[in-house]
């Protein structure tokens, strides 16, 4: 009996002391294998867009839908071009049937450019998204500005460039190159860096397109009316001259002044500032492409402005105005 008691006591001592030792060892091993803490991320935080105010009314697009939206926009415009061109070609009015492709292109472009300009204007001047620092303006993802990039990519690649190449009066080398490059740049930006500045470059600068498209079409129509001695020529010329003046004013404000100012005094300094940040390394290729494109387009606007001045002063024939 005494031996039994001693055995039980020794076993109890082992039973109640051993788990504490095991637990202590387990805690020690757990501490030794503890997952190291992730170091604090000190890179600039990308601010979130405040979708209050006028911005909530704008359409949005996610990255996975860019190609789909681009194709839909391009095919829609191309289909409208084919239908309208066929309709005008069958018209008995010589002012319509002698330039059906040009006229159809103008009619398709007008509502589209009004829509694009509206989105750009609201997004650039009237939304509540943060736009104080370079990070705010470049690295803040905007699904609203992505819409502009996707739509412009589709309409340029599928409708505008092919149509401009096929219609002789629209076939201008600088315009074709400009719109082809724009389609590529807009796709790259829409898929990787849709930001605050997209509202300006893909929207605000298109404020010139509606009045300029109307003037361009009236100029073509006046040429046709003059060749056939149409009695409507006088009225057409008066309307054309008014839109020429309007186009000149809007082009000077949006393309010659505003495009130059935003590019050289806002966009490029912000880009160079962001490029120095570690967080910008994954976007470096897109950032560089955007800077090169902005510089090239800015120079092109000034070339077109000089050509416009030459036309107004009579030193150059107005053989192209569709920008």
Instruction: Write the CA distances from 84 to 103, 104, 225, integer angstroms.
Output: 8, 5, 20
177 vs 164: CA distance, rounded Å = 11
311 vs 308: CA distance, rounded Å = 5
DSSP for 109-121 reads HHHHHHHHHHHHH
What is the predicted pLDDT for the residue at 311? 81
Burial of 234 (0-12, 13-18, 19+ CB in 10 A): exposed
Q: How many CA atoms lie within 13 A of 247 on its CB side?
A: 26
What is the predicted pLDDT for the residue at 318? 62
95 vs 232: CA distance, rounded Å = 10
What is the predicted pLDDT for the residue at 130? 63
What is the predicted pLDDT for the residue at 283? 93
φ/ψ of 159, rounded to 5, equals: -115, -55
pTM of the shown model? 0.81
How many residues belong to the chain?
323
Residue carrying structure tokens 């010139």: 208
Q: What is the CA radius of gyration of the chain?
A: 32
SS3 255: helix
Enumerate the H helices of the chain as residue ranges.
Answer: 2-32, 66-89, 94-97, 100-125, 134-139, 143-154, 161-166, 173-192, 196-202, 209-227, 233-251, 259-262, 268-275, 284-312
296 vs 298: CA distance, rounded Å = 5
CA end-to-end span of the chain: 110
- Write out the chain's pLDDT in tens, 323 residues: 343 333 334 433 433 334 344 344 434 444 444 544 544 444 444 444 455 556 667 899 999 999 999 999 999 999 999 999 999 999 999 999 999 999 999 999 999 999 999 999 999 998 766 678 999 999 999 999 999 999 999 999 999 999 999 999 999 999 999 999 999 999 999 999 999 999 999 999 999 999 999 999 999 999 999 999 999 999 999 999 999 999 999 999 999 999 999 999 999 999 999 999 999 999 999 999 999 999 999 999 999 999 989 887 877 766 555 56
Burial of 260 (0-12, 13-18, 19+ CB in 10 A): middle
SS3 249: helix
């Amino acid at each position: 009996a005494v031996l039994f008691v001693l055995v039980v006591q020794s076993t109890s001592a082992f039973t109640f002391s051993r788990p504490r030792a095991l637990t202590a060892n387990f805690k020690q091993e757990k501490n030794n294998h503890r997952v190291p803490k992730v170091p604090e991320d000190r890179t600039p935080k990308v601010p979130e867009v405040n979708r209050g105010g006028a911005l909530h009314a704008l359409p949005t697009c996610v990255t996975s839908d860019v190609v789909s939206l681009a194709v839909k926009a391009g095919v829609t415009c191309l289909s409208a071009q084919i239908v309208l061109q066929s309709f005008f070609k069958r018209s008995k009015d010589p002012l319509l049937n002698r330039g059906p492709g040009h006229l159809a292109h103008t009619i398709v472009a007008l509502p589209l450019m009004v829509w694009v300009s509206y989105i750009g204007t609201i997004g650039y001047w009237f939304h509540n998204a943060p736009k104080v620092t370079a990070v705010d303006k470049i690295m803040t993802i905007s699904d609203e500005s992505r819409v502009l990039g996707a739509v412009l990519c589709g309409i340029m690649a599928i409708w505008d460039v092919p149509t401009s190449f096929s219609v002789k009066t629209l076939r201008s080398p600088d315009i074709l190159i400009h719109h082809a490059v724009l389609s590529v740049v807009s796709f790259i930006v829409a898929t990787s860096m849709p930001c605050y500045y997209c509202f300006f470059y893909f929207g605000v600068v298109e404020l010139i397109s509606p009045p300029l498209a109307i003037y361009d079409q009236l100029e073509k129509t006046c040429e046709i009316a003059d060749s056939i001695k149409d009695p409507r020529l006088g009225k057409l010329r008066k309307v054309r001259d008014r839109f020429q003046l309007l186009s000149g004013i809007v082009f000077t404000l949006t393309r010659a002044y505003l495009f130059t100012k935003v590019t050289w005094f806002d966009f490029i300094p912000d880009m160079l500032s962001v490029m120095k940040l570690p967080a910008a390394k994954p976007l470096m290729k897109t950032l560089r492409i955007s800077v090169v494109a902005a510089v090239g387009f800015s120079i092109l606007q000034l070339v077109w402005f000089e050509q416009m001045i030459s036309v107004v002063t009579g030193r150059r024939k107005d053989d192209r105005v569709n920008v």
